[in-house]
Every structure is written in structure tokens, then in C-alpha cells.
């Protein structure tokens, strides 16, 4: 393959230096994280997707110009409806949203960003792909923000450690909140109207969100699996409209790279911690379904935040599966004091060099993108000492074995990433046929 000549030394690093408008890719971070954590809404809360004039005559529109009426938070996320997210931001307040974004490592926000448009990623300066990756990785890492790094240590010729990488770590929200967010973020991938359905990886849970900015200047795909967090941005340094057959080139890049690096990995589900309640919900009211409800789905709640029974339909309560997952093997104690054992030194990262002049790819993906693209794998995400690899042989609830720790997801730049989940004894392979990295099942656009 031909990737062009290297003609610049220490050129613009688009992953770490380009602050870009995020569009809807910020919705999970700016809206869902504070909203779920502060218990302002749940995935089943109903918002009205209709023409609305907010303060200061702010009248955001949906991408297709239409409105869906009363929908759940989950449905609003699925096809990235704008109005409900602005309504949610109104309740959260932009000021509080910014405080969460900053706790998740986003440093480029300004006073100007303290407006409702923050919900839709209309920003003064924008955010770098690296900071977006570190923020998404906070969800993937069960609520713990870990400052990104490109190396773990520097060793001299005699094997003496000259310096270690010291990464700041802090707990931003609980693993229960993280789990609810993960289950919500699967909706754009798994939902009928999802904007990121082409990002699915057979046998592996995928959480993902698209982003598109005005005039199609920027395209994003931010997401993660139980193994890796990755963010892809596509655009021009000087804004130009992206024309790519109505597809999201950042999303295609993300899907191809992520499928490739997960090739051969065991099936994996997001680990469900204790104190999560699942319930069948009436989609019309966002309340617990009764037998008379015709339109229902399963939602995940922080224990105690589940709604009452449907007030619009009749019948007995449908779901008796609402359960507190408190069996012994499922109990994980939360860590709100930020004193989890994170063992930062467990990983050996031998190749800190992930900065090319025009490509920023921190996995060992070799230059799959052109100079206007940057994909930034959040290298520190998967180390996720708290991230666990699923075990298909475990009995129920998609609960994974917490003893299977991903020891070394960060690869030497010249090696194949095929040894990532080193902690587990299980070697069940995913279906090779299912791991077709060539086909993208569908392309839908988040505009
Ligand atoms: Zn109902």
C-alpha cells in the first residue's frame, strides 16, 4: 500500500493537537454521564422530541428535520435526536456538564461553552481526538479516568529504569453508572435505527457514538469494547465539507480497525456489577410494563431509580425479572474513594513512538488512513485493570469472569496485537466467519 511520502518532521499531530468540533459525539459525555450519575434521568425517561425554542431563542434542529415526539433517552440516543438532549442539558445545566467533562480529561472548554449548545457539541475551540478517547475510556474503565500516556517506562542500555510514566487517575463515577452508560451506548450499534450499526463486532459488545458537525466538516466515531477504546476523527485541517457517499468515513475507519484488532479474541460482554436492576419497560410511557403494554423493551437502571408501573395501560406487571444482582460471585465493591488497586506498572509498553507526522495511530495499525484522518486508540483504556474479558462459558447475565484481566492490551508498534487478553485461561475463539473485517453491513449517517 502506498501512504505517500513523509515530508514533514514534527508536523501537526491531529490526535493530540487538533481541537475539533465534536458534534453529537459529545452527547454521552456532556449529557448522559452527568444525567445518569446525578439521577436526573434514566435510560427510560421520556423526553419530547418536538420543535422547541430554548433560552436565548436557541432552536436546534434534528438532523433529518423531523421530530419523533415522546421518546425515551435510549431511543433519543439511538438515532441521535437533538432536541431531547438539549432538554436534558437544560436540567443538568451546562455548568455542571462542563465540570464532568473536565473530570474526564477534557481541557479545552471555555466560558463560551457554558451554553445549551454544549449538548450537541457546538464548542468554541473543540476537543482533540486524544481527549475524546480518554473521556470515553473513563466509561470503559468503569468510571475511572486515567490520563493517557504513550509510554510506560524508559530504560537505559544497562536495563536501569530512567523514568516511569506517571498517570493521573481519578474516579469520576461508579461502575454501576458506567454499566448503565455502556448498555445505553450499545443502542446506536444494536438498535434498528442506530447510527453506528456497521460497528458491530460479532460476539463482542460494542458501545459507540457517531458525531457530525455543521456542513459535514467533521466526522467522528467514538466507542469501545470490553477490550479497547478507540476514537476516529475524519476531516480537513481547514474546514471543508466531507463528501463520502453519505457514509461516515471515521466510522468506517473505526469499524475496520476495531474488527481487525479484535480478530481472534474471545467473545466478550460488558461486565454487569451488582446493584443494577433490569426491567421490561413500556416504551410509550417509560414506565415498568404491564401486560396491556404493546411496545416494550429491556432497560438497565441503577438500583432504586427504576420507574413505577405503566399508568397508561392496564394489566398486571409483566416483568418479574427485576432483580438485584447480588449473588456472591457478582458482587463488586464500588470505589468512590479512588483507592482501587490499579497496578499501573503491570503493563510493559515498549514502543512509545506513536506519533507520525500525519498519522496518529497508537495501535499497531499501519497507516490505514490518509493525512486528514486521525485515529487515536486510547492506549490506556484497555489496561483497564478493571476491564474484564468475557467468558462464554459462564452461565448467565453476560457476567464475565472478573479474574480475567487484560494484562497487556498495548502492543509494541511492530507486533501483532494478538496476545492482548493474557490473563484468562479461556481460549474460546470467536467464529472466524463472523469476524469478517471486510464487510460493513450498513452505513447510516449521523448528521
Ligand atoms: Zn404501557
**Structure confidence by residue, pLDDT tens digits, 419-444:** 333 333 333 333 333 333 333 333 33
Q: Mean per-residue pLDDT for 194-212? A: 97
Supply the DSSP symbol for 401: P
CA of 298 to the centre of ligand 1 (A): 13
- Is 61 inside a domain boundary? yes
Lowest-pLDDT range, 23-32, 156-165, 409-418?
Answer: 409-418
Report CA 347 to chain centroid distance, whole Å. 23
> Residue 30 and residue 38: Cα distance in Å, rounded?
12
Residue 321 confidence (pLDDT): 58
- CA–centroid distance, 305 to ligand 1, in Å, is 18
Q: What is the pLDDT of residue 2?
A: 65
Tell me whether residue 328 is exposed, middle or buried, using C-beta atoms within 10 angstroms of its C-beta: 0 to 12, 13 to 18, 19 or more. exposed
Residue 2 lies in a domain: no
Average pLDDT over the chain, rounded to whole?
A: 78
Measured in whole angstroms, how far is the alpha carbon of residue 96 from the centre of its chain?
20
Helices (H) and strands (E) in the chain, counts: 9, 13
Residue 343 or residue 86, greater confidence: 86
Cα 308 to ligand 1 centre (Å)? 11
* CA of residue 69 to ligand 1 center, whole Å: 16
In a domain, 304, yes or no: no
Among residues of the chain, what percentage have pLDDT more than 90?
Answer: 66
Please report which confidence band the pLDDT of residue 5 belongs to, taking 50, 70 and 90 as the band edges: confident
Residue pair 20/235 in contact (Cβ under 8 Å)? The answer is yes
Domain interval for residue 267 = 23-272+334-377
Contact predicate 97/122, CB 8 Å: no
Characterize 84-95 residue by residue with b for buried, 16 or more Cβ atoms within 10 angstroms of its Cβ, and e for exposed.
bbbbbbeebebe
Q: How far is the CA of 214 from the centre of ligand 1 (A)?
A: 37
Q: What is residue 346's predicted lDDT score, i.e. its pLDDT? A: 35
What tens digit of pLDDT does each residue of 37-89 get? 999 999 999 999 999 999 999 999 998 889 999 999 999 999 999 999 999 99
Cα(317) to centroid of ligand 1, in Å? 10
C-alpha–C-alpha distance, residues 49 and 100, integer Å: 25
At 225, is the pLDDT very low, low, confident or very high (cuts 50, 70, 90)?
very high
Ligand 1 mean position, distance from CA 292 (Å): 7
For the segment 135-165, what is each residue's pLDDT rounded down to a tens digit?
Answer: 999 999 999 999 999 999 999 999 999 999 9
CA distances from 221 to 102, 116, 183, 267 (A): 20, 22, 17, 22
Q: How does residue 1 score in pLDDT terms, banded at 50, 70 and 90?
A: low
pLDDT (average), residues 85-99: 98
Distance from the CA of 306 to the center of ligand 1, in angstroms?
A: 15
CA distance 380 to 440: 28
Query: What's the gap in Å between 187 CA and the centre of ligand 1?
Result: 21
Residue 314 lies in a domain: no
5 found inside a domain:
no
Residues in the chain: 447
Residues with CB under 5 A from ligand 1 (ion): 282, 285, 293, 310, 312-313
Other residues' Cβ atoms within 10 Å of the Cβ of residue 45: 20
Q: 103 exposed, middle or buried (CB, 10 Å; 0-12, 13-18, 19+)?
A: middle
The pLDDT value given to residue 418: 32
Phi first, then psi, for residue 210 (nearest 5°) are -90, 165
Number of structural domains found in the chain? 1
Kindly calculate the radius of gyration of the chain based on its CA atoms and give it in whole angstroms.
Answer: 21
Q: Do the domain assignments include residue 286?
A: no
Q: How far is the CA of 48 from the centre of ligand 1 (A)?
A: 17
Across 120-194, where does the E strand assignment appear?
144-146, 153-155, 161-164, 169-171
Task: Give yes or no for a contact between 101 and 114, defined as CB atoms under 8 angstroms apart.
Answer: no
CATH for 153:
3.40.710.10
Q: How far is the CA of 76 from the centre of ligand 1 (A)?
A: 18
55 burial type by CB count under 10 A (0-12 exposed, 13-18 middle, 19+ buried): exposed
Cα-to-centroid distance, 68 and ligand 1 (Å): 18
**Average pLDDT value for residue range 363-388:** 35
Mean pLDDT to the nearest integer, 223-235? 98
CA of residue 282 to ligand 1 center, whole Å: 4
Q: What is the 146 CA–ligand 1 centroid distance (Å)?
A: 42
**Rounded distance from Cα 356 to ligand 1 centre (Å):** 55
pLDDT (0 to 100) of residue 138: 98
What contacts 99, CB < 8 A, 6 or more positions away? Answer: none
CA of 316 to the centre of ligand 1 (A): 11
CA distances from 43 to 33, 83, 260, 286 (A): 11, 16, 31, 9
Residue 222 lies in a domain: yes
- 407-412: average pLDDT: 35
Contacts of 202 (CB under 8 A, 6+ apart): 430, 431, 434, 435
Asked whether residue 393 is domain-assigned, the answer is no
Amino acid at each position: 500500500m502506498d501512504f505517500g511520502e513523509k515530508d514533514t518532521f514534527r508536523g501537526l499531530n491531529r490526535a493530540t493537537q487538533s481541537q475539533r468540533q465534536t458534534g453529537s459525539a459529545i452527547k454521552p459525555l456532556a449529557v448522559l454521564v452527568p444525567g445518569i450519575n446525578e439521577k436526573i434521568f434514566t435510560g427510560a425517561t421520556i423526553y419530547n422530541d418536538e420543535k422547541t425554542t430554548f433560552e436565548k431563542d436557541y432552536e436546534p434542529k434534528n438532523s433529518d428535520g423531523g421530530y419523533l415526539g415522546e421518546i425515551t433517552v435510549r431511543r433519543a440516543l439511538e438515532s441521535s435526536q437533538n432536541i431531547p438532549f438539549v432538554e436534558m442539558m437544560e436540567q443538568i445545566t451546562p455548568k455542571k456538564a462542563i465540570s464532568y467533562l473536565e473530570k474526564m480529561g477534557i481541557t479545552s472548554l471555555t466560558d463560551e461553552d457554558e451554553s445549551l449548545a454544549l449538548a450537541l457539541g457546538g464548542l468554541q475551540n473543540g476537543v482533540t481526538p486524544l481527549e475524546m478517547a480518554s473521556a470515553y475510556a473513563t466509561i470503559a474503565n468503569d468510571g475511572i479516568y486515567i490520563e493517557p500516556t504513550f509510554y510506560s517506562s524508559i530504560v537505559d542500555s544497562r536495563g536501569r529504569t530512567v523514568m516511569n510514566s506517571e498517570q493521573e487517575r481519578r474516579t469520576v463515577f461508579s461502575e454501576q453508572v458506567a454499566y448503565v452508560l455502556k448498555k445505553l451506548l450499545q443502542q446506536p450499534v444494536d438498535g434498528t435505527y442506530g447510527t453506528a450499526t456497521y460497528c458491530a463486532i460479532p460476539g463482542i459488545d460494542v458501545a459507540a457514538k457517531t458525531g457530525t458537525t455543521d456542513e459535514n466538516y467533521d466526522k467522528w466515531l467514538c466507542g469501545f469494547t470490553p477490550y479497547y477504546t478507540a476514537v476516529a476523527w475524519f476531516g480537513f485541517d481547514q474546514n471543508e465539507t466531507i463528501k463520502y457517499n453519505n457514509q461516515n468515513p471515521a466510522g468506517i475507519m473505526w469499524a475496520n480497525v476495531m474488527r481487525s484488532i479484535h480478530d481472534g479474541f474471545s467473545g466478550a460482554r460488558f461486565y454487569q456489577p451488582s446493584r443494577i436492576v433490569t426491567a421490561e419497560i413500556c416504551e410509550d410511557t417509560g414506565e415498568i410494563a404491564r401486560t396491556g403494554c404493546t411496545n416494550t423493551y429491556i432497560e438497565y437502571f441503577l438500583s432504586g431509580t427504576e420507574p413505577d408501573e405503566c399508568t397508561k395501560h392496564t394489566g398486571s406487571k409483566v416483568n418479574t425479572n427485576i432483580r438485584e444482582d447480588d449473588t456472591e460471585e457478582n458482587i463488586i465493591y464500588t470505589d468512590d474513594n479512588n483507592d482501587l488497586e490499579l497496578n499501573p506498572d503491570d503493563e510493559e509498553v515498549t514502543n512509545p513512538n506513536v506519533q507520525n507526522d500525519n498519522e496518529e495511530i497508537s495501535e499497531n495499525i499501519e497507516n490505514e488512513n490518509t493525512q486528514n484522518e486521525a485515529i487515536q486508540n486510547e492506549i490506556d483504556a484497555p489496561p483497564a485493570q478493571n476491564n474484564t474479558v468475557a467468558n462464554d462459558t459462564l452461565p448467565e447475565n453476560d457476567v464475565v469472569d472478573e479474574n480475567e484481566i487484560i494484562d497487556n492490551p498495548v502492543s509494541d508498534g511492530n507486533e501483532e496485537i494478538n496476545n492482548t487478553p493474557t490473563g484468562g485461561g479461556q481460549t474460546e475463539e470467536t467464529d472466524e466467519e463472523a469476524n469478517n473485517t471486510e464487510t460493513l453491513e450498513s452505513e447510516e449517517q449521523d448528521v
